[in-house]
Amino acid sequence: MAALLEHESQIFLELFHRDGLVVCARGLGIDRLLLRFLRLYCEPASLVLVLNTSPAEEEYFIDQLRSDGVVHLPRRVTNEIANNTRYEFYTQGGVIFATSRILVVDFLTDRIPANLITGILVYKAHRIIESCQEAFILRLYRQKNKQGFIKAFTDNAVAFNTGFCQVERVMKNLFVGKLYLWPRFHIAVHSFLEKHKPEVVEIHVAMTPAMLAIQTAILDILNACLKELKRYNPALEVEDLSLENAIAKPFDKTIRHYLDPLWHQLGAKTKSLVQDLKILRTLLLYLTQYDCVTFLNLLESLKASEKAFGENSGWLFLDSSTSMFVNARARVYRIADEKLNQKGKGSGSEKRDVKKENELKRELVLESNPKWEALREVLKEIENENKNSDNLGGPGQVLICASDDRACAQLREYIITGAEAFLTRLYNKTFGKDEKAGEVWINDRKATKSKGNAKPDTGPQAKKAKLTASSKQNKQKKQQDRTLIQMIGKTEEEKREEVEVEDNKELSGSQESNTEQTIPEDFDFSLPSDCYYGIFKDPLTIIHPLQGCGDPYALTRVLHEVEPRYVVLYDAELTFVRQLEIYKASRPGKPLRVYFLIYGGSTEEQRYLTALRKEKEAFEKLIREKASMVVPEEREGRDETNLDLLRDARPASVSADTRKAGGQEQKGVQQTIIVDMREFRSELPSLIHRRGIDIEPVTLEVGDYILTPDICVERKSISDLIGSLNNGRLYAQCVAMCRYYKRPVLLIEFDPSKPFSLIPRGSLQPEISSNDVTSKLTLLTLHFPKLRILWCPSPHATAEVFEELKQNHPQPDAETAMAVTADSEILPESDKYNPGPQDFLLKMPGVNAKNCRALMTHVKSIAELVTLSKDKLAEILGNAANATQLFDFIHLTYAEALAKGKSKK
């Protein structure tokens, strides 16, 4: 492990001496800080729990510690470790990664020696809200252990920007009293990184006129959609719906945050506007990220899709939309008859040719991406420098970073085959199949190719110059006997493959096969990431995506393994830019040059600058909050005075009831609820425990919560409810609950941030329909008259209802609850009634849930029922009509039943 940098050592020492929450700027190495703490506690003498890490992150930390020579590596607690060996597992000490569900259950059942825990490290601490599992674990820990430490880490300052006193609430849930802020502009960070600056070359690439026109058109449409949205919903916060925010990454979350609670009240127009904003943001991203063919394909698919065309809010009919389509097509091809209308654009011979050709004849333009040209220049410059790099110890490695897999795959193919070959293959794959006269067009294209591409009207002069330069570049780079023409031939064969351009895996797969031909077979470089795309072996040149890897640390691993001298940022990403600064500072004396490719005056540049500004503002707000923050002495919960550790939901203002023993304090029975193990993924157990009710976690086959010996509750979130109604699981669960408990309850729990409404307003159907959720619920209640339904707007409301339902009732028994299984015969009334005949009886005409009990009390078996007279049945059922129905059904002969059936037909 590399030694900590100056500012990192300072953070480490501050946090080591006093528990707190560290908020770092993105990319400043919060993971390096956590690693240092893990290394410190990796010994059997201490027991440290780590919360909120994903399996990929745990793998990374363990790998780093292993390579650092740590003997007692962190261990993971999974469900594979048996319950009875869990206590022993914990007492072996060291650092332990565990899922929050396992830890909650272990704390509640005392399988974990709480008093022996040295402390807890919390990663991604901005997520710790009051009702989450991690907050529940910390509360249980603090109730049982007053000495241990709690140290929390996060690098997401922007997350504290939403809500009232968000950082204070998070600190309250974490039981920490100190806040450490380390922004990029912190004097210690700034002065240290200034000393070790990498050499940065910023290349502002100019967008082509067509790209600029498209960008302007999209921004105009975005603006129009935002104005419409504000007009239909005047209550929306105007500041957050600005055009600058609309092009930033978190805009979707912002808009959902405002609209989700009233989604069921919104009209169709608002909903379609939200959908359109999403589509337009995707278009903006595709414009700068990918090539002209991919962009046009997405655009055409919007117009071709009837659904999108019919449901759009009207932006497809704006002038800007027309301009966008015209320019997007102009980047890919020109239709021959367009040249007739454009004066002076074509010669007379061209006009004659055009008249002979049908209008399907397209002339490919295939505008190359300006960033590709810039990248080619950069690679050429690096190659020249590597030729004269003896004084630096040989040629330097190159790392090219693009946003995602598709961008990486495109860059790789561009560098290997050249722009025209790549775009031609992509065009044929995307549009060649869809044209009506596809075959005619392909033959015609081949004929044009055989004559040679030297015609002055085939495309812009710059494109041809670019292609020849690109072919020279490729030949110099690879120094192989394969020519560019052969490579293009290879792509011509490839274009016959039936591959959709939308499918990244297929696309990268086709590039894999292409590369095998053009790169020597000994190109086998084992890297710790499986996401990279190699291009050249000597010097090693790697393309790697910034996002979308299964392993969040894939790029960090590659950076430290490859140790590049040159890094080309094809797409800018704030976190990785900072990571490069730290990487350079941790290797003093070794050169690092960073090439920053960005479209000047584009939304891409604006998006990057907005992200920077948002983080700076978030830190400034945190600094102001910290200055005025009042932290009570008992915040850390090290004594009994912290009110957050009390488990009583009753407010202090509740007066004593003087009717009961003159207002003396009553000694109540400790309330208990039995909870199914699988329910610990939800917030509810934490909130129940907070109300002073004990929780017994066991594995239940019937129900999720047992409140009393009679009340069994099956909890369903909305998505779960719809799913289990569709697959019939809920019916089976209700059958089991009704059979074994007197008061079965179906709890329908809503998300507090979503509307408290099952279906949108106005979509309630007058008739019962098999597809409708409300119809299915109606049928469920008709079928199970005993079943009660609880509608709860949030888990907080559910916890309150549970407490009220339990009042003045006996406590449930865990052994009995566990003994109840879907096929067990231990019934509450098994000595009285047999469930099989009981179900059979309920299916008979004239018998219902109200009179069924009376009938079973008087009649021993179905055989005896058949012998009863009509008068006797009327006496038992208490209703002559029901008695007649049942009597006629029992005594109906087979011949009569057949005759009845025929007459109905």
Segment among 190-204, 332-346, 637-651, 869-883 with least mean pLDDT: 332-346
What is the bridge-based pairing of β-strands 743-749 and 788-792? Answer: parallel
Among 32, 27, 24, smallest CA distance to 157 is for 24
Rounded average pLDDT over 529-548: 75
pLDDT digits (tens, 9 = 90+) for 604-635: 888 899 899 999 999 999 999 999 988 888 88
Instruction: Report the share of the chain in percent with pLDDT over 90.
Output: 21
Instruction: Report the share of the chain in percent with pLDDT over 70.
Output: 78
Segment among 68-77, 269-278, 699-708 with least mean pLDDT: 269-278
The predicted structure's pLDDT at residue 348: 43
Cβ atoms 411, 400 nearer than 8 A:
yes
Amino acid type, 127: R
pLDDT digits (tens, 9 = 90+) for 220-263: 998 988 888 888 887 776 677 788 888 877 787 778 877 877 77
For tokens 């860059």, the residue is 411
315-to-303, 308, 312, 320 alpha-carbon distances in Å: 11, 11, 7, 8
Amino acid type, 635: R
Among 132, 141, 138, smallest CA distance to 685 is for 132
Confidence of residue 22 (pLDDT cuts 50, 70, 90): very high
pLDDT digits (tens, 9 = 90+) for 744-792: 999 999 888 777 877 766 666 677 677 778 888 888 888 888 899 999 9
The predicted structure's pLDDT at residue 472: 34
pLDDT digits (tens, 9 = 90+) for 729-740: 898 899 889 888
The predicted structure's pLDDT at residue 237: 67
pLDDT digits (tens, 9 = 90+) for 286-326: 998 888 999 888 888 887 765 555 566 677 788 888 888 89
Instruction: Tell me: pLDDT of 123 over 90.
Output: yes
Rounded average pLDDT over 151-179: 89
pLDDT digits (tens, 9 = 90+) for 432-478: 755 544 455 445 555 554 444 333 333 333 333 333 333 333 333 33
The predicted structure's pLDDT at residue 217: 92
The predicted structure's pLDDT at residue 748: 93
The predicted structure's pLDDT at residue 788: 92
Consecutive H or E run containing 596 = strand 593-599
* Helix-helix angle 268-289:603-628, to 10 degrees: 110
The predicted structure's pLDDT at residue 618: 93
- 75 pairs with which residues across the strands? 96
pLDDT digits (tens, 9 = 90+) for 379-395: 988 888 888 777 777 78
In angstroms, rounded to a whole number, what is the distance separating the alpha carbons of residues 885 and 901? 17
If you count DSSP H runs as helices and E runs as strands, how many of each does the chain have, helices first? 39, 21
The secondary structure of residue 431, as a DSSP letter, is I
In angstroms, rounded to a whole number, what is the distance separating the alpha carbons of residues 377 and 822? 70
- Give Cα 602 distance to the centre of its chain: 28
Amino acid type, 745: V
Q: Taking CA 332 as the corner, what is the angle to CA 330 and CA 333, rounded to the nearest 5 degrees?
A: 70
Beta strands in 115-161 (DSSP E): 119-122, 149-154
pLDDT digits (tens, 9 = 90+) for 588-608: 888 899 999 999 888 888 889
Token pair in block for residue 549: 């890897």
pLDDT digits (tens, 9 = 90+) for 852-872: 878 888 888 888 888 888 888
User: For 604-660, what is the HEC assignment?
Assistant: HHHHHHHHHHHHHHHHHHHHHHHHHCCCCHHHHCCCCCCHHHCCCCCCCCCCCCCCC
Instruction: Choose from 345-359, 507-521, 536-550 the range with maximum mean pLDDT.
Output: 536-550
The predicted structure's pLDDT at residue 648: 64
Among 807, 809, 808, smallest CA distance to 691 is for 807
Among 515, 548, 541, smallest CA distance to 527 is for 541
The secondary structure of residue 654, as a DSSP letter, is P
Confidence of residue 349 (pLDDT cuts 50, 70, 90): very low
The predicted structure's pLDDT at residue 746: 94
Token pair in block for residue 73: 């590596």
